[in-house]
Structure 1
Amino acid sequence: MNPMTEAAKEITEEQTRHLDSALEHIPEERREWCAGGCAKTPMAIYRECARAYLWAAETIRGNEVNWDLLAPRVEDCPDFESAKAALEKNQSEFFAALEEIDESRLAEMVKMPWGEELSLGQYILLPSYHTCYHVGQLNYIQTLLGDAEFHF
């Protein structure tokens, strides 16, 4: 693995640890709670992060990706344990895809579903940024539930 893909893997692992901790500090009975009646639930956020790792792996491999068909779906992962298993499986796919990248490909451009183009070197960091963003959301939900402690 080249230094850039190794860094992407390490950063992603670190953010996933924060994601797990953030969800673990939300009471189980509130993990499907919807703040304001319109926000994503904590479990929906977690499942989205799991899906993003598989999306990233498939994109790196040059495959077309239909977000709606990616696992895990709610019915497959109703609780933290099953969602965590799906996240770990999908993250392993992402890490395997990172290992497959030849350094010469890092300058290749990848088109995002929203139209933006990123170099593959930038793109491989996207899952860690995405996870970090959602860690912040989960931390905010903790404060809405009265937990002002900083969890790592």
Structure 2
Amino acid sequence: MNDGSMRDASVVVARDQNGLIAILSADFLTHGGEYLFLPGGRREDGETPLDCARRELREEAGVTAEHWTPLGSHAITLSSPARVHLFEARGLTLGVQELTSTEQDFKLTWWPMRDALKAVREGRFLLPAGPLALLLVQNHPAHG
């Protein structure tokens, strides 16, 4: 039952030279207000998970990255074979967001990891892939 709506996705923890994380926010009326999320989205035809991560980071945050670390691939739901691929991006170059018409209200801010993890504990993230990616980055041996 893959009608195209359940394609694989990629989500990115983009960390600048000061350790700040790119966090997006927007109002989601169906969920009752403003929520946080990390850059990411569904894979397009012909893209690898890393291609998707690079594109979504560039479009949603206006950021390109030199260094990419895979953080794993995880099932999204029990009823679909689609997976979410998580990445950490470092060596960032900041540019201009390339938002689509449905993304025009996405606001980009930069957060210390401790504040991002506090927002995770408070349930302020819209989707679970972002919090999982943040926890994986926080516990990655290279960052211990």
TM > 0.5: no
| TM-score, length basis structure 1 | 0.25
| TM-score, length basis structure 2 | 0.26
Higher helix fraction (1 or 2): 1
The structure with more radius of gyration = 1
Higher relative contact order (CA 8 A, sep 6+): 1
